[in-house]
Structures are given as structure tokens and as C-alpha cells.
Amino acid sequence: MAVARVGTLIVGASQAGIQIATSLRELGDEEPILLVGSEPRSPYQRPPLSKAYLAGKATAESLELRSPQWYAEKRIDLRLETPIMSVNLDETSGGAGVATTRAGEKIGFARLALTVGGRARRLRLPGAGLDGVCYLRHLRNADELRRHLAVATHVVVIGGGFIGLEAAAVATGAGKDVTVVDVADRLLGRAVAPVVSEFYLRAHQRRGTRVLLRTTVAAIEADADGKRVAGIRLADGRLLPASLVLVGIGLEPRTELAQQLGLEIDDGIVVDSHARTSNPAVVAAGDCTTLPHPLTGKGRIRIESVQNAIAQAQAAAASLLGRPPRSGAVPWFWSDQADLKLQIAGLSHGYDHVVVRGAPSSERFSVLYYASGRLIAVDAINAPRDYMVVRKALARGGTIPAGRAADVSVPLNELVTAAPGSRAGR
């Protein structure tokens, strides 16, 4: 079989994948670019799947990242429903090699980028395969969830993370009886401080969602026909009625191709700040990667966000062309849960002190995170000005004195000062 050849092969038609293609063209690359994906739709936004799309406020077309005309104008070959099953590198020619599709097609490439994302972590319990047990990662998952939600009466969400709580808010807003079950002792425990966890617990309860923490699911019960979900059996013996179950227990990065290539894996494909893998000729970006802390460069972290996918992809494109990458950007993230908009800037990992600015009972406040007296992140709930002030301060290397941050009578931007060793200021 003849081998088709391209300049850059991007495996994964994701946010990161399309950004690498975009950045290559912006940097002047004229070589053929092939972007391949396993889904039947062109690259689309995933965050709205658990928010606006699930609520029926967005269409599949509105989620598309680029139009068909854009791919043609940029001379980017997009191939859908084309899973790559294996990749082999030519050890004598840097990052060049040959990929093989599920259909057996051979694709030669001079440069390789992996933007393969992740898969929803599956529930491994009796009854997990019943009809009505749903996950939410792809558009087809969201379509299935919407169909079930339209006729469901009792909804159980397993997992108190962002995806689960966003979907729970949509279901409660649609008038469903909703219960969130989590084995942890607080909501969003890996992402936010206890004060924010407590706020979201009370806020969801006020809106009618039942929340069961420190609760283990033992099995999923079937209806009389043995095909559809009818309830959730808890470890303590209780049975929760359920005509729909959404499982939101995290993401598993796709690392199969990286393992084939012998790349370093550590809860994702390990990359450096330039998005280079342990084989510097191969780059990777997005949810599939583990990277150094974007601001400190220390340790390793996996960041599941649009901002990180874009920033990594820009660095990856620069690395493929031997160009210096852009300076690191401040990580940011958002979550819409009913009428509560959470905006996060920075990374709170390793914090040792928090300052609450405003009253959580007002549902408009922010939490500033500090490590050794230095501002490192903010969680802003319905407080966009606080979010923007902190995001800009972090980008300039600035800080906000913790002793004054809680004083809402003083605009937060007036409290920004230069951190030791930085040029930031008011």
C-alpha cells in the first residue's frame, strides 16, 4: 500500500489539535498539515456540553471551532472517523515516521503532535452497563444524556466534581429530582478550598439538589426487564430511585500511542514547558499531558482546561518549527452551575492560607489563595472584577497583601503591589 506523506501529522481533532494547526500557519509553516480525529464531527467546544448544550441553549453547529471554509483556506486537511492505531518513528530522521489508521492506511509524516485528550473514567460496578447510565465527554454522550434527561424523573449524579455539578444544576433547573452522590467529604475537593466546597454544597441544596457526601455506591439496580437503570444501591443498603444516572468521576488521559512510542508517562504524557515529550522530536498538548507548573516550573501537574490546551498547543507549534515558545500564561478556568459563575485564575495547589473577600451568603464573593504570603490564585463566584484583577496581577508577577484583601470597601485593583523580585505594581 502506498504511503501518503504530510509535513505535520496531528493525532487528535481536539481544541489543542486545531490550535497547533492554527499556530503552525500563523508562524509561517507552509508544509501540508493533516489533522485526524476519531469522532464524526469537526473539532468542537467541549465545556458547553455539561452547561448550555445540555440545557438546550446551544446547538451542535454553534459549538464548532472552525467552519469547513476555514480548513480549506488554511490548507489544513481534516479527516474525521480516522482512528490512528499505531505510530512508528524513523530513528534515523528525527521526528519523522509512519502512522497506520484503523482502515490500514499508511500516513508518512515529518513531524508528529499528539493531542489525543482523554476518556471518561468508567464505573466498575454491577449494573454499570445498564441503559440510562451515562457519561459526558463527547457530543454523542451529551446527545444521549439529553434524550434520557427529557423523560427522566429521578436523576442520580455520581461524582461531585465540575462535570457532575454542572449537569446536576441543569437537571434540577429542568424540574427533575436530583441527587449528587460522592465518596469524598466535600464537593470539588481536589480543586477548591473548603470554604468554596461548603458554599457550593449549600447553594445546590438551596436550589433543590440533594447531596450525599461520604457515600459509596455499591451497585446500579435494573428495572423488572433487567435492561434499564431503576435505582442506585448504596453501600449502607439504601436504594435511591433513578431513571437516569450520570457518572462524572474524572478523566483518564489517552496514552496508548505514547506508550507505543516509548514516551514517558506519569498520569499523562510527560511534556516540558515547550510541550516536548521525552522524545523532543514529538510534541503533545491538552488533556492527555502532564506538564511542569505553568508559573513556577516545579513539579508536574495535569490541567484539564481550554486555556491550557491552547497555551500548550502554541508552544508545541513553536517547538515543531524550532522557534522559541511564548512566555507562560496564567491558567484560568470557569464553571457555570445554575446562576453561579465560578472563574478561577492561577493554580491553588500548595496553598497554605486563604482570604475570603465578600460574603458567601450573598452568592457574590471571591477566595484568594496564598502560599508563603504570595498570591497564587483566586476563585471568584459571580465576582468577575476580582477575577480579572487577580489574573492580571498574576500575569505581571504581582501580589495582593493578604491582610488587606478581605476589605471590600477598597477596590481590589488598588491593592495590587509588586511581589519581591518582580516589576509588577499598581
Domain residues of the chain, as ranges? 3-118+252-320, 122-249, 339-418
Say how far apart CA 167 and CA 298 lie, in whole Å: 34
Give the residue among 232, 49, 213 at the shortest CA–CA distance from 133. 232
Say how far apart CA 163 and CA 50 lie, in whole Å: 6
Q: How many CB atoms lie within 10 A of CB 93?
A: 10
Residue 118 near residue 23, CB atoms below 8 Å: no
Residue with cell 464553571: 335
pLDDT tens for 190-220 read: 999 999 999 999 999 999 999 999 999 999 9
pLDDT tens for 253-279 read: 999 999 999 999 999 999 999 999 999
pLDDT band at residue 83 using 50, 70 and 90 as cut-offs: very high
Residue partners of 420: CB distance under 8 A and separation at least 6: none
CATH number of this structure's domain 122-249: 3.50.50.60
pLDDT tens for 391-405 read: 999 999 999 999 999
Residue 417 near residue 368, CB atoms below 8 Å: no
Provide the grid cell at 176: 427533575
Q: Domain 339-418, what fold? A: Enolase-like; domain 1 (3.30.390)
Q: Do domains 122-249 and 339-418 have the same CATH topology?
A: no
pLDDT tens for 210-258 read: 999 999 999 999 999 999 999 999 999 999 999 999 999 999 999 999 9
Say how far apart CA 388 and CA 378 lie, in whole Å: 10
Q: Domain 3-118+252-320, what fold? A: FAD/NAD(P)-binding domain (3.50.50)
